[in-house]
Amino acid sequence: MEEIKTTFLGAKVILISSSALLIAALKNTLMSCLCRTLLVTLFAVVSFGQSIKSGQYGTLSLAFDPATKKLTGYFEDHTGWDEQTKAPRFSCVFYIEGLVTGNTFEVSTYYPNDKFEDTIIGEIEIVNNQTVKIKLPNDHGGCWNVQHFADEPVAFNLDQPASWKQIKFVTKNKSYFYSDNAEHKKQNSFLVKNDFVHIDKRVGKWAFCTFFGDKKATKGWMKMADLNAGSTKKQ
């Protein structure tokens, strides 16, 4: 009987030892899977989780609102100089709007207040936190002599970060600045149709904007009703 008991206990010890080995093997397998999952997740964040920043990218201005994932902005550049008119001979100007859905996403581009006739659907690629690329299937009028966007993607590097939430353009013939978001705070300074404004914040029907002129920047409150409503879809 003693011998059977010892043998039984011996078998039990072996059984426990085998279970421990099995559990250890399962732990190693789970840890290996977990490590692979973490590596894949990290790779996805690094490769596909680039963020876009508001700011000045040379001749490109962009504003990104993290709350809505909406990107707005504009490209503006000029070449040549006409001594008679005292103005550039060629201009390339277009507005940009779209939803940031990934590292590469679709945008609508058009000349301010000419969306119906001028819209070209293009693509923006977020290369990294400092660089974006724009590609259009066709060039807007005037851009041929300034900057080609249809030949290959054009890269832009962030020069000056900003806190802009939106960039819009004036739709009225004349839109005044206000020293506060109230009707009786109207100032003498105003903008005209197609001027671009950079919005830092909104309060109800008002927006605190900055307009960058040739010589100085003008800041103040403006009525949202005087600015483009914006849309991510072609009309």
Q: State residue 141's pLDDT score.
A: 87
Residue 209: closest CA among 199, 196, 223:
199
Q: How confident is the model at residue 235 (pLDDT cuts 50, 70, 90)?
A: very low
Q: State residue 147's pLDDT score.
A: 93
Q: State residue 19's pLDDT score.
A: 55
Query: 134 near 77, Cβ under 8 Å?
Result: no
Q: Which residue has the higher pLDDT, 137 or 81?
A: 137
Domain positions in the chain are 1-48, 55-226
Q: Which residue has the higher pLDDT, 229 or 66?
A: 66
pLDDT tens digits, residue range 116-138? 788 999 999 999 999 999 999 99
- CA dist., res. 69 & res. 16, Å (int): 57
Q: State residue 18's pLDDT score.
A: 53
Q: State residue 4's pLDDT score.
A: 47
Long-range contact list for 84-93, CB < 8 A, 24+ apart? 89/145, 90/142, 90/145, 90/146, 91/142, 91/146, 92/140, 92/142, 92/143, 92/145, 92/146, 92/147, 93/140, 93/142
3-state secondary structure the chain: CHHHHHHHHHHHHHHHHHHHHHHHHHHHHHHHHHHHHHHHHHHHHHHHCCCCCCEEECCEEEEEECCCCEEEEEEEEEECCECCCCECCEEEEEEEEEECCCCEEEEEEECCCCHHHHCEEEEEEEEECCEEEEECCCCCCCHHHCCCCCCCCEEEECCEECCCCEEEEECCCEEEEECCCCHHHEEEEEEECCCEEEEEEEECCEEEEEEECCCCEEEEEEEHHHECCCCCCCC
Average pLDDT of 52-65?
97
* Planar angle of CA 51, 55, 61, nearest 5 degrees: 110
Average pLDDT of 20-45?
53
Instruction: Tell me the pLDDT of the chain averaged across its residues.
Output: 84
Q: State residue 113's pLDDT score.
A: 84
pTM of the full predicted structure?
0.76
